[in-house]
Every structure is written in structure tokens, then in C-alpha cells.
Amino acid sequence: MTDSARFKAATASGTEWSAIAKDCLDRLGDVGGCNLGFLYVTDALADDATSIVTLLRGVTGIRDWVGTAGIGVCGTGRELFDQPAISVLCATLPEDGFRLFPVLSGDLEPMRRMAGGWLDRHGASLALVHADPRHQHVPDILGALEEASGAFVVGGLTSARGQLFPQFTIPGNTATMAAGPVADGGVSGVLFAPGVAVATGLSQGCSPIGPVRTITACEENVLVEIDGRPALDAFKEDIGDLLARDLRRVAGYIFAGLPIAGSDTGDYLVRDLMAIDPRTGWLAIAERVQPGQRVLFTRRDRDSAETDLRRMLKGMKRRLSGPPKGGIYVSCIARGPNLFGNASEEMTIIREEIGDVPLAGFFASGEISHGRLYGYTGVLTLFC
């Protein structure tokens, strides 16, 4: 990235979309020269997504916008939940440093059509994506995107309580923008060339409470045996006597962790417990598993989440080639006020560790890192 690269961010809330958007524009100030915008709106403004991005495009002169909706949005030191709110980050990047691609709902042909020539010339080191959680093939699309582009794929799934799950993107055919740059139903985002200096980090929201074990018998998402004995026996052993005597208390507190093969950081995917059958000793989790696969159990708590978040932030600072100039943060909807409290504490921790860096982001229904779907995590992308 050139020394002229700059980022400006703004976050605002209110009652009417137009007033909130204008407040963001006032807070942004002069964004002349910026050529890429990141836009996140709370789901209360999902109906107004097209109007919001159209206004921002017209006033700022920035043509290319990416982003989505979340139950909450975040900015530098701020988290806004359960209210109409907008978070914006405007960036100045080399014209050939990035390329948007439209919604991918099946194969990658729309991306090849819109960004194939650019990929051939520049390659991609990172893709920041947004995805529709209602689309059952999102995991497959993410894997195919990472393999085909060679990019490290990060991002998150839209979170919304209504019927609309907007993504800010470009249409599959840019001959006309008449319908507005808003879509849904798959995966969309932006590719960054290797010349754009960027770093990413993943912070877990759960901590292991027992050893890594082996699934020895299972049926789809049901764990029948772990380490050669009933799955529930191993589960009770790991969670301790107090919880084992009242399994109703584990809901929303204890989760299954699936270690990622080949990870040199001990990384794992957290999945919800769906059901416990004391009669058979079976456990059902929110992921299909196979015999021989590794599993561990985890606990969700604020202290371990904060410790891991600070660890991740300190590690990123060491890896950066210079001071961060801007960033995007995608956090799980189960984090934020649901884990850290109501005083924007998660974003305050980030500001304490990396400073007043212009940031935008949202609270997702699933987080994406290295082309995989996570839960209860925070994914930070920093530009420098």
C-alpha cells in the first residue's frame, strides 16, 4: 500500500435512515480520493439498504461499496445494538489494489466474469466477504473461492431478525446500476491484491475444558461414542460433577469444539450442542462428524474471551509492517453486550490495544476465517 493510503470511519444512530446517514457523512468529513467504502447497517435499517448506499455513493463519489446488515454494528470504541445505526469506513487504495465481485450463489462464474482478468494480472492475498446464512451452500462456496482465488478469505454472515438479508456489492452485470448495488442469496465481497498490506486475526470466545478426544462412533451430527465409550460419559467427565448433575445448565454455556486438522495454533471450530439423550448416552451437535474425527468441549465465559482477544491483538501488532491505518471487525452476535457487557467493552478493548484506528464492522450470525465458518469468535482485519 502506498503512503498516501488513508482511512476514515464514522458510526451513528438515530430514528430515520436519512438522518443517520447524513450524520455519518458529517462525521466522515472530506473523503475526496477515497475509492472503496465499507458499509454496515443494523437490521432495523434493512428495508432502507438501497436508499442508504445510493445516498452514500452520490455524496462521497465512492462507487464501490461492500458490507451487509447485522443485529449490531460497531466502530472505533462503539457498539450499537437493537437500534437503527450505520457504521462506515472509507478507504483510499491503489485503483488496481482491489476488485469487487458479485453474489456467488453456485459456481464462481460471476466472479470470473467480473474479476477474472484482474486476478490473472494481480492475484489476490485476501478476500473480505459477506454471506447469506439462509444459503445452504455457503461453506462450499467459501472453500471454492479460497481455492480458486488463492486468497485468505475472511468475513461474516448477515444477521437479521426480519426477511431481508442485504449485501452491498455489485450486480452480476455492471452495464446498469438501476437496481442499486444491493443483493442477497449467496457470497459477495472484495478481493485485495498482494500489494495491499493487511493482517488478520481470529479470537475465540470459548476455552477448552477437557482434553482433545476422538469420536469413535457417530451418525451424521450425533456423537454416539467418544474414546470407545458412550459420548455422554466423556462429556460429563469433562464438564465436572456440578453441571453433570443438572444438564439443563449447559445450554448456552458448554459447546463442542472440532479441532482443525493441520492447524499449528490449536485452532478449533465451536459448534452448539443441539440435544442430549441421557437414555442412550448420545450427544447431537450443530455439525456433521465422522468416526476418527477429534472433538473437545469448551466453555463460554467473558474472562477467557477477553484474554484471548488481547492475545490476538498483541500478536497482530507484532506482525504488522507499520501502524494500522484502518480495519474491519466481525464479531459474533453472542459476543458484544451478550458476553462483554453493555458499555461497548469489546470495541474498547480493541482500542486499548491498537489505538484509535478507524474501524467499522458488524455482529454476525457466523464468522469467516481462512474460508471456514466459525461461531462465538471475533475476526479482525487491519490495513497498514
Does 227 reside within a domain? Answer: yes
Domain edge (last residue) among 300, 332, 354: 300
Does 307 reside within a domain? Answer: no
Same domain, 277 and 189: no
Same domain, 238 and 286: yes
Question: Tell me, what's the pLDDT at 178?
Answer: 43
Question: Tell me, what's the pLDDT at 172?
Answer: 62
Same domain, 235 and 374: no
Same domain, 91 and 177: yes
Q: List Cβ neighbours of 318 (8 Å cut-off, separation of 6 or more).
A: none
Same domain, 132 and 186: yes
Does 176 reside within a domain? Answer: yes
pTM of the model: 0.91
Does 274 reside within a domain? Answer: yes
Same domain, 183 and 231: no
CB 103 within 8 A of CB 110: yes
Question: Tell me, what's the pLDDT at 3?
Answer: 41
Q: How many CB atoms lie within 10 A of CB 19?
A: 13
Does 305 reside within a domain? Answer: no
- The secondary structure element, H or E, covering residue 119 is helix 109-122
Does 119 reside within a domain? Answer: yes
Mean pLDDT by 10 residues, the chain (384 residues): 69 97 96 96 97 95 97 96 97 96 93 93 97 95 96 97 94 52 93 95 92 96 97 96 92 92 81 94 95 95 93 92 93 94 94 96 97 95 94
Same domain, 157 and 127: yes
Same domain, 20 and 152: yes
Same domain, 122 and 235: no
Question: Tell me, what's the pLDDT at 176?
Answer: 43
Concatenate the DSSP letters of all residues of 312-375 into one string.
Answer: HHHHHHHH-SS---EEEEEEETTSGGGTT-SS-HHHHHHHHHH-S--EEEEEESSEEETTEEES
Cα separation, 315 vs 299, in Å, equals 23
Domain edge (last residue) among 250, 268, 300: 300
Does 254 reside within a domain? Answer: yes
Same domain, 17 and 136: yes
Domain edge (last residue) among 235, 268, 300: 300
Q: How many domains does the chain have?
A: 2
CB 285 within 8 A of CB 251: no
CATH classification at residue 290: 2.40.30
Same domain, 19 and 143: yes
Question: Tell me, what's the pLDDT at 280?
Answer: 95
Q: Which domain holds residue 237?
A: 206-300
Distances in Å between the Cα of 221 and the Cα atoms of 246, 255, 267, 276 are 23, 14, 20, 12
Concatenate the DSSP letters of all residues of 258-321 into one string.
Answer: EEPTT-SS--EEEE-EEEEETTTTEEEESS---TT-EEEEEEE-HHHHHHHHHHHHHHHHHH-S
Does 306 reside within a domain? Answer: no
Same domain, 177 and 281: no
CB 375 within 8 A of CB 332: yes
